[in-house]
Amino acid sequence: MTREWLVKLRNDANKTHDEVATKVKISRQYYGMIESGIRNPSVDLAKKIASFLEFEWTLFFADKSNEMLLNKITKEVG
């Protein structure tokens, strides 16, 4: 599940995978996995990426927290 919002923010900032990865001190491949949704960043790494691309770092965790809330509600109702 590609993080389309992250791709857009990076493209809008006119940055490459390599530029983001170098700035936050991770490999280009690892950054690619974060962007493609294969890996999730730690809070510290999310903050570094967000600072560099100028967005709210909690966006990384918004989808996951919404999914967890939905699962909790579904279990309570069912």
pLDDT at 73 over 60: no
Single pTM value for the model: 0.81
Return d(Cα 72, Cα 67) in angstroms, integer.
Answer: 9
Each residue of 9-39: pLDDT tens digit? 999 999 999 999 999 999 999 999 999 999 9
Each residue of 32-66: pLDDT tens digit? 999 999 999 999 999 999 999 999 999 888 865 55
* Structural domains of the chain, with CATH: 4-74 (1.10.260.40)
Return d(Cα 14, Cα 12) in angstroms, integer.
Answer: 5
Please check whether residue 50 is in contact with residue 13, taking contact to mean a CB–CB distance below 8 angstroms.
no
Q: Look at residue 31 in the predicted model and tell me its pLDDT.
A: 98
Q: Look at residue 2 in the predicted model and tell me its pLDDT.
A: 86
